[in-house]
Every structure is written in structure tokens, then in C-alpha cells.
Structure 1
Amino acid sequence: MSETFGSFILQKRKEKGISQKVLATRILREEDGKPISPQYLNDIERDRRNPTSDHLINQFASALDLQAEYLFYLAGTLPQDVRAAGAKPEEVVRFFNAFRKSTR
């Protein structure tokens, strides 16, 4: 079974000895600066929900001292700066093919 965003966050949180409640207080929503709820974090860790924004993914990376790029990969998205790069369709295909080749 492949690793998911939620399972990776759960694993890293436990490795650091941080409770869900404590981690939730460290993940601030972009729209109002308030922390996410422990239930929302539980839903993410159980793969019932995915982070809804680049901001949240970056918050998880910062709070758990992780590389955001890997979290973006696990979340199945690309960071805004990469999405905004304006790559042509054929370039995107070439990049993905090179990535696939490098991981085999």
C-alpha cells in the first residue's frame, strides 16, 4: 500500500510525540488565522479529508519540520508557484515522464 498524506502526517506527528490537539493548534487557516480543529486533523490523518490549500500543506511542513515538496506530492497537487509557471502542455508531459523514469 502506498503512503498517503494523512498516514505520513500521522506517522511524523507520533514520531515527534505531538498530540493531535497540539498539532492542530499549530496549523493555522489562511482565511482567518485560527487553528484547525483536532477533528479536522483526525479526518486528514484517517484519509477522510485532504488539505484544502497550499497554505495548509505549508503549515503542516513547518509544524512538523518536513519538506513541503514531499507533502505536495502526497497530497496530489503542485505548489502554486509551479502551477503558475506557465508550462506548456508538452513540457508538463515531458516533466512527468522524466519523473516517472527517475523513480523506476
Structure 2
Amino acid sequence: MAKQFLRVAKTNASKNKVQLLVIKHFELIDKTLYSNLNEAVNMVKQSFENALIEYTGTAKIPKLKRFDTDKNTLVYFLEDLIYIDIHTVLNDFTQ
């Protein structure tokens, strides 16, 4: 099965503390290789949930949205703040 490479593709200036926490948690998983797509997707969702658990304020909670660009790339984005690409690794030279 093909591996997946997760990359924080773009971040914009945050507007509040919850967005800063989300960026902080996503930067922890930036440039990471996963053994399959489900593992990569679960890590994105888990990092997002961990940021929300850590947040104690009253700002509006942003929605994490998914966009399938093509068969080799999946994008998660959060209100024009952060974009996370999950790419299928086409050539794995680690084996």
C-alpha cells in the first residue's frame, strides 16, 4: 500500500487564540510520512481535536473541511487559515 506524506502547505495570520493553537498542533505533524491514508487523516483530525481540547476561550470554533483534489492528493483546510496537503508517495526509496 502506498504511503502518505502530510505537509502543512500554507498558513495565514491567525485572528484569535484558538487558531494559534490549531496552527501549533498542526506544525507538530508537518512533513510526516504515514503508512496509509487513514492514519494520516486520523492524525489531522486528532491534532485538530487536541487543539480544541487545549483551548479554554469563547471564540468561535473553526470547522475543519476536506477537499479531494485528485486521486493522489487530499487537502484539509480551516477557514482560509491553514491548508494541509496529504500526498500519496509515488516513489518510496526507503525500502
With normalisation by structure 2, the TM-score equals: 0.30
Identify the structure with bigger relative contact order (alpha carbons < 8 Å, sequence gap 6+).
Answer: 2
With normalisation by structure 1, the TM-score equals: 0.28
More helix by percentage: 1
Q: Which has the greater radius of gyration?
A: 1
